[in-house]
Structures are given as structure tokens and as C-alpha cells.
Amino acid sequence: MLLRFSVENWMSFRDEATLELVATGEKQHSGHIAAIEKFDFRLLPVAAIYGGNASGKSNFIKALRFAQQFITNPPRPDAPIPVRPFRLSRDSSERPTKFRIEALIDEAVYEYRFSVTSSRVLDEELKRITRTTEESIFRRGSRVEDFVLSRKIQDQEQQHFAFRGTNDNQLYLTNSVYQKLTEFKPIFDWFKNGITVILPGSRFNYLSEIASQDHSLYGKMVGRLRDLDTGISSLRQADFSPERIIPKQLSDQLLAELKEGESFIDGSLSGVDGISILKENGAVVARQLAPIHMAEGGEEIPFLLADESDGTLRLINLLPAFLLLEEQIPSTFVIDELDRSLHSNLTRNLLEHFLAQRTASSRSQLIFTTHDTQLMTQDIFRRDEIWITERDRFGASKLVAFSEFKDVRKDKDIRKSYLQGRLGGVPRIRAANSPHEDEAAVR
């Protein structure tokens, strides 16, 4: 589970911004808070990030995505680090971009931080945290002699060898795992599999797997699609005429080139659509995961996913994530623009269904950005679960929790206060000039 994530000098965030999921002392919705008794703190299962357009919401999510990708999928040895520093200060391009992640991994708390420029990693450190102490497991600086490894770490010689072989544009944590050393693999695996970031234009690749009728969550997936008024009765693989999906020229080419029983999967055709083109009985067939609708006479009619509305497609993509969140599997899902193309009642149902199943022993989390102010209510969220991004007059973003505002009481209509601009995070729209003002300005 994620405890804290901080970023500095990244896109619109000039100064350090921190999202914290350690619960405050307030009592609201205490039943859905995860209790970490070993460390005597509680973790929030959800964080909702609001803010005006261009206020920094998506930039913050992109920072977390970058950190995850840089750890698990580093650039080639000769490639630049695709870091994106703040551009509206004179010195920002010369300063490093900094990341810090604190997480509960296998019932142990770790803090991992690193700072980078476009050409190199400047420093990197991993700490293990207990209730009373912090222990540095390793620390790396910009020079070889700055590398310090805890004596408690096994395979000292191999770890030092892995450090010496770490490229300037690569993290030591990453290279240690790449060199088949197992000491830091649980931390690496958490970054790789414990966090899933879903951007507005990306797909959650688990859809095809969970939509299989043999999958344990298939029944829940179909049941939720029915309950949420999509008109879909089930999901299954269905065959379509290739002319409905691919150009005739490509169909003719595949008919000539494919052998009987062979299939063709193109990256531009696959993904969420799950399209495969195959040759059966001398003809080309397009096979795709299809939503099934019931006709008036009770006949099952398969639809192309492209035939569904944008909102239904978005829901089909997000439902597997929510179903996995509801399982008792430690995981953190991060969704940018959760409410995109979704009706407010539907989004609220997804959130309430997830939160209603959280207990003190739950270990799954949801972090999301949204513009949907209908969700901004203390009937759903605690004050420390709602965050605001706001951009100052110099273009720098900041991130603030509602719990930091002293006048946000338990009985307060926070949505009204937010929309009135009392809490920040709303567009500062200038009033249009009247015709007389325009004429005066011209004169």
C-alpha cells in the first residue's frame, strides 16, 4: 500500500508536492480505514484529487507513472532520461527532479527516493522504517565512492559489482534485480505489479482475461454490467465479418498469406478490442471480445465494442480494476479522470461499492482525479481523502488536502465552498468585458 508519494521540479510542480494516505485522527468513515497494527497507523483506501483544468492533477499522476516506469523499465544505456522539469523558473532546468515513495510492502515499510536530470541519476536511497527507527539499506551519490551498503545485506560482493555496472541513467535498485540478485526484488516487484496507473487514453489490459467465462471474476463482471444499466447481458468472444473491422485490402492480403488455422494479431487492432484475424475453412474471420445484447425475441446479438457508447467502453475498461480492488489482494490503482464519459450516479456507485467492502484488514487502494463535484461530499469521503491541486500566478502547482483547511467541518457542504472558490482548485475565470469597456480599451 502507498503511504506517501512526493515529487519536486516535475512539469507544473516547481516545489515539492506530497500525496499522503496515512489517515489523520478524524473519526468519519473509520470502518473503511486499513489498520496497520504493527506500525500503529492507519491507511486510507482512497484519495480523490480535484482541481481546475491545467491545475496539475494529471501532471501529478504522470509523475507517479514516470517513477514506476523508470524503476521497472529503464532507458537504454545511451538514451536520455525522459524527465520533465518545471519550465517557468530560470533555474528549474538546472535543478534535478526528485521523487520519494513510501510504501507498505510485505508488512514492512520502505522509503525509496531518487533524483535525476535528463542525463543521469544524481542520488538514490532505500530505507527500511520501523516504529522507532529508520535504517538506510543503501545510499548512492553521484560518485562511485559515495555508494554505501548496509552490512546486513547479503551478497555484498555481488551487490557492489552490480553497482559498478549500473549505468548513469539507470537506478541501482533496478540493475541489482536485473543482475538476478534477490535482495531488493520484493520492492521492485511492488513497483512493477503493486501499482497500476490507468491514464485517460490507456487501456487496462486485464479485460480480455477477466472477460473469459472460465475466470473466477467473470460472473461479477457480467453482473455489474447488468446492474449498471448498460444493456449488456454478457461478454464473450464472437466472430464477425472482417469487412466490419479491417480494410478489404488487408482482408484479401491475409486470405492469401495465412495458412488454414493461422491467426494474425496486429497491435493496432488488439488491446481492449481483443481482435484476432484468423483463417478458418478457407475464409478470413475477425474474432473479438463482444458485448452481448438481448433482442426482443430473446435472441442474443453480439455487438462490436466500437458500437458501444464512449461511456460504456470506459466502464468496460474500468470494471476489471474495481473488481480486482474489491478482492483482498494488496494493490494500488491510480486512475486519471475516473469520471471521463461516465454519468455521475454511475461513478458514485463504483466508489461506494468499493468503499463499502473495505475493512481494517483490506490492503487495496484507489487514487483518482476527477472534475465531478457531485462526488465531493462527506457522505462518501473523509476530509483527508479529498485533495485539491491549484496553480499560482507563476504557473506552479501545489497539492493540498481538505483536512488542512480549518473551516472544513464535518457538517459543512464542502462542494458549495469549493465551487465558490473558498478552498481553491477552481478556474479563475475573468469576466468578459462589456461592449463599452471594449470600445474604451480601443480608444
pLDDT attached to residue 271: 41
Q: Give me the DSSP letters along 375-403.
A: G--TTT--GGGEEEEEE-TTS-EEEEEGG
Q: Considering the domain 2-202+323-419, what is its CATH architecture?
A: 3-Layer(aba) Sandwich (3.40)
Report how far residue 49's alpha carbon sits from residue 29's, in angstroms, rounded to the nearest whole number. 18
Closest CA to 273 of 231, 232, 317: 317
pLDDT attached to residue 387: 96
Report how far residue 349's alpha carbon sits from residue 326's, in angstroms, rounded to the nearest whole number. 13
Which residue bears the cell 467473470? 218
pLDDT attached to residue 51: 94
Cite the residue boundaries of each domain of the chain with CATH code 3.40.50: 2-202+323-419
pLDDT attached to residue 175: 97
Element (H, E) at 223: helix 218-227
Report how far residue 118's alpha carbon sits from residue 224's, in angstroms, rounded to the nearest whole number. 45
Tell me the mean pLDDT per 10 residues along the chain, length 443.
98 98 94 94 97 95 98 95 95 93 95 97 96 94 90 93 95 97 96 94 77 89 95 90 78 81 60 67 84 94 91 92 89 96 96 95 97 94 95 95 77 76 73 54 44
pLDDT attached to residue 266: 54
180 to 128, 130, 137, 159, 187: CA distances (angstroms): 21, 27, 18, 10, 14
pLDDT attached to residue 185: 96
Decide: pTM greater than 0.85: yes
- Residue 305 contacts residue 313 (beta carbons within 8 Å): yes
pLDDT attached to residue 245: 75
Report how far residue 289's alpha carbon sits from residue 262's, in angstroms, rounded to the nearest whole number. 18
Report how far residue 265's alpha carbon sits from residue 260's, in angstroms, rounded to the nearest whole number. 15
Order of strands across the sheet that contains 108-116: 17-20, 2-8, 97-105, 108-116, 121-129, 134-140, 148-149
Helical H runs in 80-184? 156-164, 172-178
Report how far residue 371's alpha carbon sits from residue 402's, in angstroms, rounded to the nearest whole number. 15
